[in-house]
Amino acid sequence: MLIIAGLGNPGKEYENTRHNAGFMVMDALAEKIGADISEKKHKALCGKGVIGGEKVILMKPQTYMNSSGESIRAAADYYKVDPEDILIVYDDISLAPGQLRIRAKGSAGGHNGIKSIIAHLGTQEFPRVKVGVGEKPSRMDLADYVLGHFSKEEQVTMDDAVKEAADAVCEIVNVGIAQAMNDHNRKKEEK
């Protein structure tokens, strides 16, 4: 069994913000595999599904971003899932909007949701799919930027990226992270 969790913040005011890219991917993934992420459990909205014969638990932690680890740890303990079987999907400001980066493990890179998960799991050895949301403008506060909404142009790019990230998650489950990294860890061609 795998746990697949998309990070974000609960509440209407945070819907479709940069920091909620993980939630957007989870919604796309749920739609793709015919799952429903509405059960309240483990301080999250959860759902069950199957990808390529593998049972998966889909999660959208409701603890707010900076405490995501509480929810992830509760689910990991309940389902007795090891960290390497927990796939985290989240926003990354160091990547161009819509660019994906898949990693088998790594540091938090300044992302508070990932810091919380590392602290609660006691390891950084868990796979992740980062969804680029673009670098913050130099004069803008980071919190204001990540809690801000995409421009119309960015939203079109993000809609495609969210679908691609859902596909990448399925590919990780079906054929492994190495193949998914080869297929998705590349710069977007300039049009």
DSSP the chain: -EEEEE----SGGGTTBGGGHHHHHHHHHHHHHT----EEETTEEEEEEEETTEEEEEEEE-S-GGGHHHHHHHHHHHHT--GGGEEEEEEETTS-TT-EEEESS---TT-HHHHHHHHHHT-S-S-EEEEE--PPPTTS-HHHHHTSBPPHHHHHHHHHHHHHHHHHHHHHHHH-HHHHHHHH-SPPPP-
Active site residue 42: no
Judge contact between 88 and 114, C-beta under 8 A. Answer: yes
Catalytic (active-site) positions: 19
